[in-house]
Structure 1
Amino acid sequence: MRCAFPSGRALFVCAPLHVFAQLAAFVGCVTEPYIPSLISNAGATQPIRRVVYQSGISTELVNSVAVDNAIIVTWANAEYIDFVDNFVRHMQRLKLTNFLVGAMDTKVLAWLEKQQQPHWNMGTKYAARSTEKPASTWGSKSFLSLGHDKTRLIRDLALTGVDFVVTDIDVVWMRNPFPYFKLFPTADILVSTDQLQNQTISDDLERHICAAPSNIGIIFFRSSRGSRDFTQAWLDAVEKDREVWDQISFNDLKMRGNACAGKLEPSGLMRAFSDRVSFGVLPVTLFGNGHTFFVQRLHERLGDRSLEPYAAHTTFQFGGVPGKRQRLREAGLWLGDPAAYFSHSGGYLTYTPHIPADTDLDKFARRGYPVPEHTLSKLQPYSRLVTLHQQLVNFQLQQLRDALALAWALGRVLIVPPMLCGLDRVTGPQAGRWPGSLLKLPYVCPLDSVLNLQYIASKFNGSLPFREYSLLTNLAFRLAAKEHIRVGVDGAQTSVRGFPVSAGRILHDFVEPHEFSASRPRVKAGSSDKEIANALEQVKGAKLLHFDTLVDTFVGFAERDGLLGFKSALQIDEYFGYTWCCTSRHMGPGGVAKYDLLGAWAHSASWHCRGGDLDCFERFTNLYS
């Protein structure tokens, strides 16, 4: 047996295999056992070199799946097992076979073996034996441990002699990226970025490697001496400090040797890591992060043509794993749902959303792009603009609340419409939009910006009790739910308006995705669940009921048992609504605005439930009784 050190030194050991493995792990070297082949017809025996690295990856496995000496590699634990399914389905859609999935626990390993997908048993070297937070929780011990496992894997892959892409499992791939990477044949490393505005609308790289932190959710490494040196230094850094975040170490190494002051090459590449690697930043229009792709939708907005992205990463979101899943569903990029998701036996219900007629949307627009960011001051505690935003969102959430109640009463599942937000949601003080972004206000915001999806999912075994708005344009849904009925509402009194033109294609596709049936029943505003059910008796078998409005439409349950049944089934409480963040006093009173799904809180300057208020159940009961 042979033990190879990263420096190239070698140690030959004659010992039983289990003893050799323990020694290799102790001294930190790479084991290289030789497995003899079958004897050929000529009688000669040729050894096959099979190198197994610390991460569990082997040269034999890598070479078995590589195409044109290149592979895509990801990994996951049980928390993300349905993301593995989504990843594999996207690879199959792209007809890519040169990928590997690392199984970090037995559940993922069993799934991959059953599905016969290319994989290996990655395991975890530093996984916390007990932790209060899951690995998806940013900054938790398990989160940091997974980062260290990732860094070790990347170092090992750099030793195999193939070009490779490492991708987080919450990245979705929409195009084969390898033709793009071939545009930069001298690049050692190409990496995605947390940058929130583009510097190009073409295939060019972003214009500076230090304009924003690199995001290691997508990295391309060419098989080169520079990549090997960089990945070894990266592993050394995280091994030295088990509390360090691997992404911080990556960025520190990138900037080593005053690289940020370097010159940009015509190709868009720069020298980095003390002039030892050729480094480039992938364009945010083609390799989107969670803000540029899902919030700003830069690939749809820029230039006279729609850019076709290669990948999107579900960063910059607020709902944990359920929030990531919901964003992919809203974007039509989630392929892991079973057929039953699109064919609920009781059918579906949805509605056209409205906002108050007197909402001055121009006040929001004056803080959105293209207004220069440097001319805007941070929003102040108890700002009237924040209150206006809160009222705008609450008005829509209370329609959603009524829709949830009515859908439950009719035995249907709610399809949540798009939501209009006046202000962006940020993790600290802001002036209306995430600093550095090109977000136009108001905008159609992801649902995780206004609902606490992680909390809601915890009440429903990880699922959500509703469907996403893009379901209506999903082919699987349209095939399963062919009869669509539009329901008119008579007598609504509240003065409302529709979404602005800026909502564009998203709202149009939601309201008019297909032809409705000629039958168009009508209900009276101010009706109970029983009255609405009676009015719709003739169309109760329709797969989709689309209400023209739910403002003033549903006012309560005819019987108290209905209310109590709804509360028990949906478990709605004050924590369903999320918070907007943040004014200049983000850690104190007036720093955040609480969204109110229940609708019984006064929209005063306090924005919070005072101790003297009715408890949540009493306020909930008062809504419909």
Structure 2
Amino acid sequence: MPKPEAHRAGKQRGGRGAWRRRHRGMAAKEVGAEGGSVVPNASWWSDEQVMLPGGLMCPKPPPYAAAKPQLPTGLASAETPRLTAELAKKHASKDNLLIATYVNFNRLDFALTLVMHLLAMGNPHYLVGAMDDQVGHALASRGVNTFFMSTGLTTRDTGWGTPAFRQLGLHKANLVLELARTGVDCLTVDADALLLRDPFPYLRALPDADVLTSSDYLVATNGYADEGLEGRSAFGAAFNIGYIFVRATAVEFVKRWSKACHRDPNAWDQNLFKSILHSGGRRGRSSAPTAAKPGNPRLQPMFTTSEGRQLMVGVLPVSLFASGHTHFVSRMAHLMHTTPYMVHTTFQYGGAQGKRHRLREGGRGWVGMMWEDGPEYYAKPQFLAYELDLPYSLVYPNGGKPGSDGTVPFGQRTTVEQHFALVHHQLRQLRNALALAQATGRVLILPRLVCGLDRAWMPHSGIFPGSAARLPLLDCPADHVIDLERIGRPEELLREHSFLCNPRTPASVVRLAAVPDYRALLTTSREALDFERRHASWGSLWCCNRPPNGRGPGHIWYDLFADVVPHTDRHNRRWEGPWVPKMGP
């Protein structure tokens, strides 16, 4: 097999050594910038730089990015066992702690990634629930500790909010109840909620906690210098049961929760989880949070058991048991210069493809490098990378001196029009690089993307409402601007922008080349038209502006061909003049 090779597109300036020197300062210089202004990089977990194989100077990769031993393949698999107390206790730690997740065949790679992280951190105390026969056999053949869950659900993806997604909530409640009945103290996690540090020491330090849950709260109530549980105000936000730690002492609560889920199958399981905790167990007794009992002051007494004991409940820190926003956008753990215990791929916009890509991507701030791909992902012989032209004046159009983290005061954020000018400038280069990659039979390595504004599902003023995000987003997640779900299998065409600095990537020969406009590469008008049709729908949407009179759509679609006049966009709208932000359709 030929050695992996990455051509680096950009201006020829002294070859590979010059490329390395230009990037040693961790910021990309604006072409023609007055006074040598540079666009800084996002906050990251370590200040160290290292030289990786191939001679690239890169930020020190996080510990979890190291190559891991591969799971075995082709092991003989007997019939997948059912969950029993004996099985749970066999795999639990000596002090009765266990980690459990569940997966269907479509998400097999999520479970394998999770298991590889656990084994790499030296924690073999886990079980994976197999939701169908196909995934059960696949897990067993890889030596994964597994048991069979009889769900009857699809082996395909369960999109958020679909009937299958609602049914999945019922089976999750059943699983948590079955685990509690085995007598183990179990941390149950969604398969797309990866563990990056061993959580057992954290759990052992909270012996009075009966229930611990992650949260959709978007602010660290105790600041970034505090690694303890969230404060009292976090109990008013939505609990996120992507991570829930339930001791066997809370079995009565879990039984009530499971019954509520089956009684109202259209209700959201995590809303019912919180509601039952608040409502209490005994008729006539209210167990709303009150002053905490002696012990950890951040544990709140909530559900009252039939014996009159209130369960002690805590909210895990949103910085270290992170959501997709607090980690990938607000970058809380990186501002703390530490590694989170867990990262859940919520608050993203690309379906399962978007989740995988977020767990891969990383850039100068290293939020990714969590996903475990096979060796073939890194060993493909031909890649193309290019040096992004990122003008300082587009990133900071309203002046002001950026802070040490590269962000500006909220009042100096970009407007919607300025945000689209910034992103379209980058998408234009991405589009041309795609054409060059496809014309030369290469896989394109994305650059880091910068966004002036955050993205949400509702109108907002620049950041996700209620979040701690700072602008601009100097490592903007790709799913904010590229429709990865629409692409289908982006890994066949693209690599994340941290790819060349990933310690799992073999040493590559980096050469420089220029990226021409796609119309110069595609020699006939038919080829150019086919390229435009094929890629017109690759741009994602930004959400949301405030529509006139509060009515109509507020979202605006990105257009990879915004600079081409005339052109027809993905909605068959004809552009005969300069592109402007247009809401809808």
State the alpha-carbon separation in 2 of the partners of residues 244 and 364 from structure 1: 48
Deviation, 1:263, is 2.3
Spell out, residue by residue over 1:117-138, the C-alpha distance to the aligned partner (whole angstroms, 9 max, x if none).
110111206x379xxxx65311
1:321 is aligned to 2:321: no
Deviations 1:576-616 (A, max 9, x none): 1011101223985561221011234679xxx99674458xx
**What residue number does 1:270 align with?**
300
Out of 237, 247, 256, which is 1:212 matched to?
237
Counterpart CA distance in 2 for 1:78 and 1:566 is: 38
Question: Which range moved further: 354-363 or 174-183?
Answer: 354-363
Matched AA of 1:475: P
Q: Which amino acid aligns with 1:268?
A: R
Structure 1, unpaired ranges of 5+: 1-54, 488-522, 524-549, 615-625
Deviation at 1:411, TM superposition (A): 2.3
Q: Distance in 2 between matches of 1:482 and 1:247?
A: 46
Aligned to 2:330: 296
Asked if 1:416 corresponds to 2:452, the answer is: no
- Is 1:471 aligned to residue 499 of structure 2? yes
- Contact 2:565-2:575 at 8 Å conserved across structures: no
* 2:377 counterpart residue number: 341
Q: What is residue 487 of structure 2 aligned with on the other side?
A: 456
* Contact kept in structure 2, 1:367 and 1:432, CA below 8 Å: no
**Residues 289 and 301 in structure 2, CA contact (< 8 A), matched pair in contact too:** no
- 1:308 and 2:339 correspond: yes
Question: Separation in 1 of the partners of 2:436 and 2:125?
Answer: 48
- The CA distance in 1 between the partners of 2:469 and 2:229, in whole Å, is 21
Give how far 1:249 is off.
0.6
Which residue is equivalent to 1:353? 388
Instruction: Give the conservation status (yes or no) of the 8 Å contact 1:451–1:578.
Output: yes
Q: Distance in 2 between matches of 1:416 and 1:566?
A: 23
The 1:611–1:286 alpha-carbon spacing in structure 2 relative to 1, beyond 3 Å, is: closer
How far apart are 1:153 and its partner, in Å? Answer: 0.7
| 1:191–1:216 Cα contact (<8 Å) kept | yes
SS at match of 1:421: coil
Any gaps of 5 or more consecutive residues in structure 2? 1-80, 281-285, 362-366, 577-585
Q: Which has the larger radius of gyration?
A: 1
Deviation at 1:432, TM superposition (A): 0.5
What is the CA deviation profile of residues 242-289 of structure 1, one whole-angstrom value per residue up to 9, with x for unaligned ones? 211211111211222565552245431001125731000000111111
Q: Confirm whether residue 445 of structure 1 aligns to residue 476 of structure 2.
A: yes
Q: TM-score, normalised by structure 1?
A: 0.70
Q: Distance in 2 between matches of 1:292 and 1:234?
A: 28
1:483 Cα deviation (Å)?
Answer: 1.7
Aligned residue pairs, count: 472
Q: 2:262 aligns with which of 220, 239, 258?
A: 239
Aligned: 1:283 with 2:317: yes
Conserved 8 A contact 1:210-1:260 = no
Distance across 2 between alignment mates of 1:351 and 1:566: 24
Kept in 2: contact 1:296–1:439 (CA 8 A)? yes
Q: Distance in 2 between matches of 1:357 and 1:564?
A: 34
Match of 1:580 in 2: 542
Identity of aligned residues (%): 34
Structure 1 residue 210: Cα displacement? 1.8
Q: Which shifted more, 330-339 or 164-173?
A: 330-339
State the Cα deviation string for residues 514-572 of structure 1 (Å, max 9, x = none): xxxxxxxxx5xxxxxxxxxxxxxxxxxxxxxxxxxx5xx4353455359729947x973
| 8 Å contact kept, 2:101–2:191 | yes
Distance 1:311 1:414 in 2: 29
Cα contact 2:439–2:521 (8 A) shared by 1? no
Q: Is the 8 A contact 1:356 1:395 kept in 2?
A: no
Q: Does 1:195 align with 2:229?
A: no
- Residue matched to 2:112: 85
Please state if 1:554 is matched with 2:578: no
CA contact (8 A) 1:409 1:562 kept: no
CA gap of 1:232–1:365, structure 2 versus 1, over 3 A, is farther
In the alignment, is residue 396 of structure 1 matched against residue 419 of structure 2? no
Relative to 1, partners in 2 of residues 1:161 and 1:610: Cα closer, same or farther, differing over 3 Å? closer
Distance across 1 between alignment mates of 2:521 and 2:140: 53
- Structure 1 segments (4+ residues) deviating >4 Å: 257-261, 362-373, 565-568, 586-590, 600-603, 607-614
Greater relative contact order: 1 or 2 (C-alpha under 8 angstroms, separation 6 or more)? 2
Hey, what does 2:171 align to over in structure 1?
Answer: 149
Task: Report if the CA contact (8 A) 1:325-1:334 is conserved.
Answer: no
Are residues 359 and 465 of structure 1, via their aligned partners in 2, closer, same or farther at CA, if it must alter by over 3 Å?
A: same
Contact 2:278 2:289 in 1 (8 A): no
1:253 counterpart residue number: 276
- Structure 2 vs 1, CA of residues 82 and 566 (structure 1 numbering), >3 Å: closer, same or farther? farther
Q: Distance in 2 between matches of 1:261 and 1:67?
A: 32
Q: Is the 8 Å Cα contact of residues 450 and 472 (structure 2) preserved in structure 1?
A: yes
Deviation of the 1:213 alpha carbon: 0.7
Contact conserved, 2:518 with 2:528, CA < 8 A, in 1? no
CA distance in 1, matches of 2:399, 2:256: 47
Aligned mates of 2:565, 2:419 — CA distance in 1: 15
SS at match of 1:390: helix
State the secondary structure of the residue aligned to 1:216: strand
1:40-72 C-alpha deviation (Å, 9 max, x unpaired): xxxxxxxxxxxxxxx941111111111121110
**Cα offset, 1:338, TM superposition:** 1.8
For 2:345, the aligned partner's letter is T
Q: In the alignment, what sits opposite 2:150?
A: 123
Distance 1:589 1:574 in 2: 23
State the match for 2:559 in structure 1: 596
Amino acid at match of 1:86: T
Code of the aligned partner of 1:317: Q
Cα deviation digits, residues 88-107 of structure 1 (max 9, x gap): 11111111111000110122
Q: How far apart are residue 475 of structure 1 and its match?
A: 1.5
Query: Measured at CA, do residues 589 and 613 of structure 1 come closer, stay the same or move farther in structure 2, by a change above 3 Å?
Result: farther
Partner of 1:163: 185
